[in-house]
């Protein structure tokens, strides 16, 4: 429920602007009040009259409206809300936000606000996939802007792909999460993610194919349930999640230090693909070719971070979740791994190359607990993450 919450809704100029009418209705139905702002382009798609009739408030349209400035200046307007929602967030609005332009009322409010901001992007698929938009998206996420959608599907322009604005009910759910208390509010959780790099010499290292996508999605899902997340990541490709504490490490030993420094936590999710071995004979200077002789590398075993945390006495997190990356006999290996390491749950997946899971956008996992094995359907990593986070919230209740 959003009773008493105030949303400043900035409507951008795109065909999806019509979805805002439904969004306003849903928000008001939940008890929220909506202060609407429209860009000039938005008025080409929906009329200010429809918007203000549904919102029950005047639509703010002009930066230089002296009457309104006298009643409520644009700075004050940007501060009255609990959340600023930009929907649809067009490529143009996203670019303005990423650049910090303040060239009309909408962009000026976004620059002046001190409240959290959420955007629901909507645009043609090529515009969404354009490197400039993706760059702007990364900047906005880095600034802590929450993003809902876009969805994949048929578009008004006749093309197919990502770019459709998220449905009003999904935007409402995201607003609910952003403003609600969330079942994990006040709980501190740890997530490890990504590969580790184990140096051979100052320029060479041993690594693995983990992209960090699943760990990142889990950190985001836990954050969205209100948790305070410490995200310890190796050198992963995936963009770092916004709104969490990020600790960058390189080697397994550095990851171990960072994990211990993050304790105590209510729960730990160990999604990192930690290198089992490091090069014991790592050289301090670049190894040179000498008369065709081949270098011999000796290995030492890395500390098993998951096993250490699972088996610590006092100070052990109430819930420890490990991952098992297997290429064969997944359930048997993973069940044995849960016992051996002493963690509460294991999320097991088949990382054989033909599954496309390692480095891909989907995952198909088994959840192994003391009660047995559950097979979860193959789904986007974000979906698997949301399901896991919801289960964790239930277990920590």
Phi-psi region of 301 (alpha: psi -120 to 50; beta: other; left: phi over 0): beta
Catalytic residue among 1, 75, 156, 157, which?
Answer: 157
What is the β-pairing status of strands 267-270 and 319-326? Answer: parallel
- By CB under 6 A, tell whether 365 contacts ligand CTP: no
Please list, in sequence order, all residues whose beta carbon lies within 8 angstroms of the beta carbon of residue 10, skipping any fewer than 6 positions away. Answer: 37, 38, 39, 84, 85, 86, 87, 93, 106, 109, 110
What is the β-pairing status of strands 6-11 and 83-89? Answer: parallel
**Would you say 180 or 342 has its CB closer to ligand CTP?**
342
- By CB under 6 A, tell whether 305 contacts ligand CTP: yes
**Would you say 303 or 342 has its CB closer to ligand CTP?**
303
Helix (H, G, I), strand (E, B) or coil at 252: helix
Token pair belonging to 138: 């990364």
How distant is the alpha carbon of residue 346 from its chain centre? 22
**Would you say 302 or 363 has its CB closer to ligand CTP?**
302
Shortest distance in whole angstroms from residue 340 CB to ligand CTP: 8
- By CB under 6 A, tell whether 323 contacts ligand CTP: yes
Token pair belonging to 288: 């040179």
Shortest distance in whole angstroms from residue 183 CB to ligand CTP: 24
Q: Which one of residues 88, 163, 234, 322 is an interface residue with ligand CTP (CB under 6 A)?
A: 322
- By CB under 6 A, tell whether 165 contacts ligand CTP: no
- By CB under 6 A, tell whether 179 contacts ligand CTP: no
Shortest distance in whole angstroms from residue 204 CB to ligand CTP: 21
Shortest distance in whole angstroms from residue 351 CB to ligand CTP: 9
Shortest distance in whole angstroms from residue 258 CB to ligand CTP: 12
Report the candidate in 104, 97, 106 with the shortest Cα–Cα distance to residue 138. 97
Active site residue 157: yes
Please tell me the total number of residues recorded for the chain in this structure.
Answer: 397
Q: Which one of residues 17, 109, 110, 274 is an interface residue with ligand CTP (CB under 6 A)?
A: 274
Report the candidate in 342, 346, 338, 348 with the shortest Cα–Cα distance to residue 321. 346
- By CB under 6 A, tell whether 252 contacts ligand CTP: yes
**Would you say 179 or 252 has its CB closer to ligand CTP?**
252
- By CB under 6 A, tell whether 140 contacts ligand CTP: no
Point out which span in 144-152, 266-274, 311-319, 383-391 binds ligand CTP (CB under 6 A).
266-274
- By CB under 6 A, tell whether 357 contacts ligand CTP: no
DSSP character at residue 309: H
- By CB under 6 A, tell whether 344 contacts ligand CTP: no
- By CB under 6 A, tell whether 272 contacts ligand CTP: yes
Q: Which one of residues 325, 384, 389, 392 is an interface residue with ligand CTP (CB under 6 A)?
A: 325
Report the candidate in 370, 270, 368, 369 with the shortest Cα–Cα distance to residue 310. 270
How far apart, in whole angstroms, are the C-alpha atoms of residue 36 and residue 38?
7
- CA geometry: angle at 131 spanning 130 and 133, to 5°? 70
- By CB under 6 A, tell whether 216 contacts ligand CTP: no
Report phi then psi at 22, rounded to 5: -65, -40
What is the β-pairing status of strands 160-164 and 188-193? Answer: unpaired
- By CB under 6 A, tell whether 81 contacts ligand CTP: no
Q: How many residues bind ligand CTP (CB under 6 A)?
A: 15
Which positions touch ligand CTP (CB under 6 A)? Answer: 192, 252, 270, 272, 274, 276, 302-306, 322-325
- Please list the active-site residues: 157
């Amino acid at each position: 429920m959003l009773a008493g919450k105030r949303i400043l809704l900035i409507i951008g100029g795109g065909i999806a602007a019509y979805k805002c009418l439904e969004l306003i209705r849903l928000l008001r139905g939940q008890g929220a009040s909506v202060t609407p702002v429209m860009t000039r382009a938005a008025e080409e798609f929906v009329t200010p009259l429809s918007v203000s009739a549904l919102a029950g408030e005047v639509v703010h349209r002009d930066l230089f409206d002296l009457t309104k400035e006298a009643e409520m200046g644009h700075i004050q307007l940007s501060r009255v809300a609990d959340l600023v929602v930009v929907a649809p967030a067009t490529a143009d609005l996203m670019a303005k936000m990423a650049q910090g332009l303040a060239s009309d009322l909408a962009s000026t409010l976004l620059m002046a606000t001190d409240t959290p901001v959420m955007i629901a992007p909507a645009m043609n698929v090529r515009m969404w996939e354009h490197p400039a938009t993706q760059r702007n998206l990364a900047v906005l996420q880095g600034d802590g802007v929450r993003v809902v959608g876009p969805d994949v599907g048929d578009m008004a322009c006749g093309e197919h792909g990502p770019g459709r604005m998220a449905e009003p009910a999904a935007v409402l759910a995201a607003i609910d999460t952003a403003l609600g208390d969330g079942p994990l509010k006040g709980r501190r959780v740890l997530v490890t993610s990504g590969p580790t790099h184990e140096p051979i010499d100052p320029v060479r290292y041993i690594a693995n194919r983990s992209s960090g996508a699943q760990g990142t999605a889990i950190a985001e899902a836990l954050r969205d349930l209100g948790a305070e997340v410490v995200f310890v990541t190796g050198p992963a490709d995936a963009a770092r999640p916004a709104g969490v504490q990020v600790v960058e490490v390189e080697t397994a030993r550095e990851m171990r230090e960072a994990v211990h420094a993050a304790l105590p936590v209510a729960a730990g999710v160990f999604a990192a693909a930690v290198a089992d071995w490091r090069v014991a004979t790592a050289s301090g200077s670049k190894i040179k070719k000498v008369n065709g002789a081949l270098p011999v590398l000796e290995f030492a075993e890395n500390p098993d971070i998951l096993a250490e945390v699972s088996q610590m006495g006092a100070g052990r997190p109430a819930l420890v979740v490990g991952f098992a990356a297997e290429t064969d006999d997944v359930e048997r290996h993973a069940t044995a791994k849960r016992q051996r390491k002493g963690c509460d749950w294991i999320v097991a997946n088949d990382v054989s190359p033909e599954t496309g899971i390692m480095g891909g956008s989907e995952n198909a996992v088994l959840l192994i607990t003391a009660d047995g094995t559950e097979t979860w359907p193959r789904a986007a990593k974000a979906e698997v993450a949301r399901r896991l986070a919801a289960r964790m919230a239930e277990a920590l209740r």
